[in-house]
Amino acid sequence: MRGVKIADLPHHVIENGYFLEIVRLQKNALVQNFPKFQVQQISYSTIDPGIVKAWHLHAKQNDLWFIPQESQLLVGLADLRSESTTKGNIIKQPLGKAGASLVLIPKGVAHGYKNFSNKKSSIIYLADFTYNPKNPDEYRLPWDILGKNFWAGN
């Protein structure tokens, strides 16, 4: 899908667990490997087992999701951008468990996820806009807009 990028992250096993670099920031808070993404806000969220958080999209904001390897998320992406060469494309990708990942989600791409594990999962969001609760750049779609079976299984 045009503009979407998923990067697997290497981790280093240490004596009492592991060490993982999520992102390296370059000048002007630009993210290494994602040179046009300038971080304005970093947020953290958890999701209970079996829960779906979907769908929403942004008109101005691009997201960069960090999914740790302890999480087990089924990520869904739908390209709703009118001028996109990949308009209408859908991505359904299990992430976490096998390794940590970064997912770049351009504005106009609807996104969501389901925790398909039996324990709480987490996700860290990097955004290139700050959240404004009085005027949020967030547009919601029904969780089952692509059918209830979209989120079935992993």
Domains of the chain, residue spans = 5-142
Average pLDDT for 76-105: 96
Mean per-residue pLDDT, 107-119:
97
pLDDT mean over 134-151:
94
Fold of the domain spanning 5-142: Jelly Rolls (2.60.120)
Give residue 16's pLDDT: 65
Going 80 to 67 to 95 to 103, the CA torsion angle's sign is: positive
pLDDT of 154 reads: 66
| pLDDT value of position 78 | 98
pLDDT tier at 26, thresholds 50, 70, 90: confident
Residue 14 has pLDDT above 70, yes or no: no
Is the peptide bond preceding residue 65 cis, with omega within 30 degrees of 0? no
Question: What φ, ψ does residue 5 adopt, rounded to 5°?
Answer: -140, 135
Res 19: pLDDT = 67
Within 10 angstroms of residue 84's Cβ, the number of other Cβ atoms is: 16
pLDDT at 13 over 90: no
Quote the pTM value: 0.86
